Amino acid sequence: MKKVVVLVGAGSIGIAIARRVAAGKRLIIADYSEDNAMQAARTLANAGFDCITAQCDLGSKDDIQRLAALAAKEGEVLHLINAAGVSPSQAPVGRILQVDLYGTSVLLEEVGKVIAEGGSGVIISSQSGHRLPALPEEENVALATTPCEELLNLPFLSRITDTLKAYQYSKRCNALRVMMEATRWGRRGATINSISPGIIITPLAADELRGPRKEGYLKMIEGMPARRAGTPDEVGDLAEFLLSSRGRFISGADLLIDGGCTASYWYGDLQYLKTTH
């Protein structure tokens, strides 16, 4: 049987990870935009990768179930890479919660049913989840363990009216959900972790650095210990480690890769952001 890698989200970070782990395997590239998936598949096929595409709205359980079934049909599901999602500037509160919080939770559950022994997955989350203050324990437990179809009915989520807050809660939920799912994936001999990138230069971030919020972004970068933005390849290197045999003792973890931005947000030069975020 072929070994299968499932990539959800055909952006720069997801492609950087896929390039590191999908050689010699069947790579399923799934994206909300079928055109994006096909363009990524053409580029990777020209570099020697074995690719097929699928249209998948991460906010749709039906789409996710079809994707998981396709992956299982293609062969032994070895890796999941989820790099899909919407940002606070791209979507309203309801859509952010539907895609980033609910959809990611469903994806973890459905792929967890077909992941192979020795398999592994990474969820691309965000440093934003680390900017949310500590939650009450009952909220942590609810985000981690509530059945997927009941998640969006949690009372404290229904009170969110700000897109940034919706995004922060979604990313905190990603980390908590990964912890819970690590116990289920472990029964199949598989690992699952999340990665929380900071400012990574992707086409979207490059647009921000040229747009009206340019000065704010540059000030944030200057206030970080690293004094620079990151690259998709740096996230790819970390993901490769987690997905490889070298990362087998890591599961249920969330790893920040943000140049120290979160450290500076809480305790350094970026504390001013607390009043605006």
Judging by beta carbons within 10 Å of its beta carbon (0-12, 13-18, 19+), is residue 163 exposed, middle or buried? Answer: buried
Please confirm, yes or no, whether 272 is among the known catalytic residues. Answer: no
Task: Choose, from 171, 214, 217, 219, the residue flagged as catalytic.
Answer: 171
Q: Which amino acid is at 168?
A: Q
Distance, in Å, from the CA atom of 234 to the CA atom of 219, rounded to the nearest integer, reads: 22
Which CA distances in Å does 2 have to 19, 27, 61, 156, 273?
17, 10, 26, 44, 48
User: Of 32, 167, 169, 265, which residue is the catalytic one?
Assistant: 167
Does 214 qualify as catalytic in the annotation? no
User: What are the structure tokens assigned to 15, written together?
Assistant: 């492609």
Helix H or strand E encompassing 210: helix 203-210
Contact between residue 122 and residue 17 where contact means Cβ atoms under 8 Å apart: yes
- The whole-angstrom separation of Cα 53 and Cα 64 is 14
Q: Which residues are catalytic?
A: 167, 171
